[in-house]
Structure 1
Amino acid sequence: MGSLLSGRGNIALVLIVSLLLTSIALLWSYHAKIKCGGEPFFPDGRSKHWPVGDPDAAIPCYSDLMYLWIGRDINNHVFPFIHGGINADGTLFGGVVEYPVLSGVLMYLGAIGAHTDTEFFQHSVLVLIPFAIAITIMLALLTRWWVLLWAATPPLVLYAFHNWELPVVFTAVAAVAVMAFGGSRRADGERRLSLRTSAILAAILLAVGFCLKLYPGFFVLPLAVYVLTRGHDGAAAVARRGLDWVGAIWVAGAATISVIAIQAPFMILGFEGWKAALSFQGKRQAEVDTNSIWYWGLRHLTGGETDTYHSLVGVLSPALILLAFVASVFLGWKVFQRTGTYPWIGVCGSMLAGFMLFHKVHSPQYTLWILPLFVLLQVRWPIILGYLLADLALDLTIFRLFGIYTSGSPMQWWVIGGVNFGVWVHAVLLAILLVAFARAPLREPLRSLMAGTNRDTSASVPADDTDPDPLDPTDDREESSVR
């Protein structure tokens, strides 16, 4: 009993410290970004301080939250996608935003009652704060003090209120939390949820994430393979019962049905507006504001942003992303053959690294996507430190670079140097992480939760930690075989 109370006391301390640090980071982020707003305002509600704010501030005040106020009818409180479309020149109109549908709805909610970009920013902050708190709580419960990589590092300050990243990060972390909860043991030694049930719930969360910012949808594939290979028991269970094709199909089907259910109302009520957002992203080119290896690398080999450049990016970017996904799944399968368990979380991280490396858009705030994977997986410290330092250098210079380009001011060596340092260090580390994530073990107690060894009793863990599943017509195990 004393050990149990001590364990609960440690968890409480982790939660208190991490939530306090999260709150400090969110407050700091708010004060850094709000400096781009405030009186006086133009008639459309745009602050006259926008977009420079205090040019001498250590942290650039720029925030996409304020930027989005104008040009998408958010300031006119038009419900997104239903009435709009895209012009021949690629300009969106009628409430269409260049984001998936659920992000558009969140923007609409943030604009309720707002009459200026500053009020829109403040309302959006209120929408985002609960997601940041929930992420911290989940990561603290899953990894204990490793949560500080999330709560006490610069990205949360830099990007919490930069764009709508926190809701999508929440869905990805919540999917892992559901799998960990389902794999944990009740007092009687049984799983809290069957493997299939846990994975179906996680797949639904990932589908919601796909409708926010796409990338969690990629994670359905490794999750389905994890179920296919019988979860933590993996090779041992497959040898006895075979691959669980039915369970894998349930996972993929749950995700697919969820995406259709979310997208269908927008497609039915405003197909042209719904399609316009996809068309915008399809036409988007790898320019300076996309901040990718293509602009800072390939552009120099093609003599600038020529037709050849855009054609190569249009072909190479999706092809390399697809190749990276195949490599990630393959690396995970090699780990499965060696250890007996398919590392689905590591493969998710590997796929994300490949996507971030090769996609034609690599916004600085995407660091919030990958940061929880540094918390959940045992990644080497030099990689984490290098990534965070490069990210800090990039954020503190890229937005100053935009200002220099806009104003025509002389370029500062440290600005262009900081941008290139950030872009290329990130690129090298993402290439390393594409392999390293797939091979990285889980941190504790997440690893024990997923393995079902988290009980306080000394009873042995069953050899097969999956319960008989009524959805599986091939699962004919008797109760005694589970014990």
Structure 2
Amino acid sequence: MSEDLPDGEVPPRPRRRGPARRFGTLALVVLVALCGVTLLLGFLNKDRCTGPEYDKLGRSGPDYDKRSKQDVCYSDIQFLWIGRDIDRHVFPYVDGALTPDGQPVGGVVEYPVLTGVIIWASALFANTDAQFLLYSALVLAPFGLLTAWFLGKLSRWRALLWAIGPPLVLYAFHNWELPVVACAVAAVYVVHRGWGKRGVDRPLLTRATAAAVLLGLGFAFKVYPAIFVLPLMLYVLTGGRGGREATRKVPDWLAACQIALTALITAVVVNVPFALAGFEGWKASFTFQLQRKADITTNSIWFWGLRPYSDPDNKPVQDLIGVLSPTLMLVSFVIACALGWRRYVKEGTYPWVAVSAAMLCGFLLLHKVHSPQYTLWLVPMFVLLRIRWGWILAYFLADLAMGIGIFRWYYEIFYGKHGGIYDGLAAQAVMVGVWGRAVLLVGLFYAFLVARSTVDDDPLAEGTGEPPGRRSALAT
């Protein structure tokens, strides 16, 4: 019971429970600066593989291939300088195709079109693989810094998991992941914080539509943000926070369809010019990934779980993997969305970020390719959702085992002296990486689905149970 106040005295204004007020501009600057230092360390780590001499194609020497594996400084950026006409400054996709044995030629790169454009732009003024790595880092780094800024605004100091985490050192410039991660995180930011002066006061449909554009752009970088469109649709369908943000009586099917259509149109608009300019080259980037086999380079449970039958030349098994992998991924997506719905019925808010994180776990676990740098996709989910620190530490350790062990293992296979392909510490580290990540992804699938958000303006972030306000008609 509150105490009586003297006549005329105004009761004090309740303090905001969320800690966003304590995370000011200076803290955000420090966070982004720390991320900059980590990105610099990431570049220096990869730059160890460049030079000191170069051949006529601009390839580092001596012994680039051996050194990149032995010293664990390999990056796809430096490696792909040769073999995709990047060194010849050919604009991607337009004149390209796949060779009969499935190799890209004529400017085709095995990535969606916006990543291809970034690759081409980064190589414009480069004459060696070292220059290409440097210019690529300069192009990619702002996306990493922007991601740190978004995460800081959303989750405060927890964003240090991104800004100074080991994965950023290992993989920031291993491949071209930073733009797509920035798109995915920006979509969460726009939904929960809006933009400009009006910020979160903008209608939910307006914010979610802008987020759908970002997810469509993410598809044009590296595909995976497209899977977040479905949870976002369900969030809009159910009226957002507590069902209180719907512009119409929930369920708002029209608004949910608008989100899907916006993401689709965005992806189509970005891809159509390339398809018109060179259909075979554009199609080749997708065909290459569809035809890719589960082999020693994919690091997936499919290759290791089906040994020795998963050899690339075993067509029946590879065809089976080609069916099981996408089918089981879709099943995992359905399960994640359904469990998210059960939580919505209990709490009144559809946990779209938690469901997106669980779907990402299903993708990483069940896709036939699990490249080490995909960890960068998962780290923002560690920031945005309040899971136990043990999960995060365990995943970082398993990832370190994979990120370091895989290249040392390749070195042992091709250049080392060992008794067998599975002998030695490096081979064991790879096994820890493959199966450790797999087990953790299964656990994280559930941990994410029950986790509370760390986003400031999410009523569930304060751990108060059911959000205030009226419950959605769908939840009654």
TM over 0.5: yes
| 1:259 partner SS | helix
Aligned partner of 1:105 in structure 2 is 117
| 2:241 partner SS | coil
Shift of 1:55: 6.6
Which amino acid in 1 is paired with 2:93? F
1:150 and 2:162 matched: yes
Aligned partner of 1:338 in structure 2 is 346
Gap regions ≥5 residues in structure 1: 454-460, 467-483
| CA 404–446 in structure 1, closer or farther in 2 if over 3 Å, else same | farther
Shift of 1:270: 0.4
Aligned partner of 2:34 in structure 1 is 21
Aligned partner of 2:269 in structure 1 is 261
- Structure 1 window deviating more from structure 2 (285-294 vs 306-315): it is 306-315
Q: How does 1:370-389 map to 2 (within 5 A)?
A: 370-389=378-397
| CA 301–84 in structure 1, closer or farther in 2 if over 3 Å, else same | closer
Query: Residues 174-230 of structure 1: CA distance to partner in whole angstroms, max 9, x if unpaired?
Result: 0001011139996xxx95210000000000000000010000011111101110111
| 2:242 partner SS | coil
Whether the 8 Å contact between 2:242 and 2:468 is mirrored in structure 1 is: no
**How many positions carry a matched residue from both structures?**
450
Equivalent residue for 1:204, pick from 202, 206, 213:
213
Which amino acid in 1 is paired with 2:116? G
Query: Residues 20-39 of structure 1: CA distance to partner in whole angstroms, max 9, x if unpaired?
Result: 32122111111111111123
Aligned partner of 1:220 in structure 2 is 229
Equivalent residue for 1:168, pick from 173, 180, 202:
180
Whether the 8 Å contact between 1:232 and 1:341 is mirrored in structure 2 is: yes
Whether the 8 Å contact between 2:294 and 2:312 is mirrored in structure 1 is: no
1:445 and 2:456 matched: yes
Q: How does 1:297-312 map to 2 (within 5 A)?
A: 297-300=305-308, 306-312=314-320
Aligned partner of 2:134 in structure 1 is 122
1:417 and 2:428 matched: yes
Whether the 8 Å contact between 2:35 and 2:148 is mirrored in structure 1 is: yes
| 1:288 partner SS | coil
Whether the 8 Å contact between 1:232 and 1:465 is mirrored in structure 2 is: no
User: 1: CA distance between counterparts of 2:36 and 2:218?
Assistant: 24
Which amino acid in 1 is paired with 2:30? V
Query: Residues 40-97 of structure 1: CA distance to partner in whole angstroms, max 9, x if unpaired?
Result: 111111111423437764xx11011101111111110000000111111101111000
Query: Residues 236-290 of structure 1: CA distance to partner in whole angstroms, max 9, x if unpaired?
Result: 778x923001110111111111111000000111001011111111110001111
CA RMSD of aligned residues (A): 2.7
Query: Residues 420-459 of structure 1: CA distance to partner in whole angstroms, max 9, x if unpaired?
Result: 00111100111112222122110142525999x9xxxxxx
Q: TM-score, normalised by structure 1?
A: 0.87
Aligned partner of 1:427 in structure 2 is 438
Q: TM-score, normalised by structure 2?
A: 0.89
Shift of 1:405: 2.4
User: 1: CA distance between counterparts of 2:381 and 2:22?
Assistant: 26
Q: How does 1:295-374 map to 2 (within 5 A)?
A: 295-300=303-308, 306-374=314-382
Displaced runs of 4+ in structure 1, greater than 6 A?
none
User: 1: CA distance between counterparts of 2:405 and 2:56?
Assistant: 31
Gap regions ≥5 residues in structure 2: 1-12
| CA 10–251 in structure 1, closer or farther in 2 if over 3 Å, else same | closer
Shift of 1:304: 8.2
- Structure 1 window deviating more from structure 2 (48-57 vs 272-281): it is 48-57
Whether the 8 Å contact between 2:20 and 2:156 is mirrored in structure 1 is: no
Shift of 1:15: 1.6
Aligned partner of 1:51 in structure 2 is 65
Shift of 1:307: 2.8
Which amino acid in 2 is paired with 1:377? L
User: 2: CA distance between counterparts of 1:427 and 1:200?
Assistant: 34
| 1:36 partner SS | coil
| CA 115–331 in structure 1, closer or farther in 2 if over 3 Å, else same | same
User: 2: CA distance between counterparts of 1:101 and 1:112?
Assistant: 17
| 1:98 partner SS | coil
Whether the 8 Å contact between 1:184 and 1:449 is mirrored in structure 2 is: no
Whether the 8 Å contact between 2:398 and 2:436 is mirrored in structure 1 is: yes
Whether the 8 Å contact between 1:346 and 1:439 is mirrored in structure 2 is: yes
User: 2: CA distance between counterparts of 1:72 and 1:183?
Assistant: 39
Which amino acid in 2 is paired with 1:179? V
User: 2: CA distance between counterparts of 1:275 and 1:430?
Assistant: 31
